[in-house]
Structure 1
Amino acid sequence: MKRYGAVIGLKPEQIADYKRVHAAVWPDVLAQIKASNIKNYSIFLREPENLLFAYYEYVGTDHDADMAAMAADPRTQEWWAVCMPMQAPLATRAEGDWWAGTEEVFHLD
């Protein structure tokens, strides 16, 4: 198992809508997340900075392939089309990334 964390901005005028859609994530999207070997997935919001922090545990054997399968899923693409306009990616993210990856500096089980 490997842990992943990422951050992204959230447009202030979109906070209520972002919370609303995440209170009822589409079942097909949830199923794809699980099929992509993601467990213990959470998204946290820090206001007033309007930063989202996502955390998940990956339990598969090929993260790149599982993430590619999720990205290719039509229903997930529809979900992202709803969510992405609400987000404000960080200017410092890696080229090609939407969410900016983070480095784990401490962990306690």
Structure 2
Amino acid sequence: MQRMGMVIGIKPEHIAEYKRLHAACWPEILAGLTAAHVHNYSIFLREPESLLFGYWEYHGTDFAADMQSISDQDVTRRWWALCSPCQVPLASRGAGEHWAGMELVFHLD
């Protein structure tokens, strides 16, 4: 299992919409994540800084293929079309990243 943390900004005027979307996340999105071996996925909001922190656990063996399977789904592209305008990617993110990956520095089971 691989633990993954990521961060992105959110436009303050879109916080309510982002919360509304995620309070009623589409079942097809959840099924796609599960099929891609993503578990224990959580998104946290930090205000007043307007940051989103995401955490998930990846239980698969081919991360690149599983993430591509999510990206390839039409329902995912429609979901992203709603969520992406709410987000503000960090200038310091890596090449090809939308959410900026984070280094795990401590974990307690």
Q: What is the TM-score normalised by the length of structure 2?
A: 0.99
Task: Write the distance in 1 (CA, Å) between the matches of 2:5 and 2:64.
Answer: 15
Structure 1: where are the runs of 5+ without partners? Answer: none
Give the alignment's Cα RMSD to 1 decimal.
0.4
Pairing of 1:1-109 with structure 2 (within 5 A): 1-109=1-109
The Cα offsets for residues 22-42 of structure 1, whole Å up to 9 and x where unpaired, read as 000001001001001000000
The Cα offsets for residues 2-50 of structure 1, whole Å up to 9 and x where unpaired, read as 1000000000000000000000000100100100100000000000001
Q: Structure 1 segments of 4 or more deviating over 2 A?
A: none
Task: Write the distance in 1 (CA, Å) between the matches of 2:84 and 2:52.
Answer: 12
Structure 2: where are the runs of 5+ without partners? Answer: none
Q: Identity, % of aligned pairs? A: 60
The Cα offsets for residues 37-67 of structure 1, whole Å up to 9 and x where unpaired, read as 0000000000000100000000010011000
Cα distance, 1:95 vs structure 2: 1.4
Task: Write the distance in 1 (CA, Å) between the matches of 2:43 and 2:27.
Answer: 17
Which amino acid in 2 is paired with 1:29?
A: I
Across the two proteins, how many residue pairs are aligned to each other? 109
Q: What is the TM-score normalised by the length of structure 1?
A: 0.99
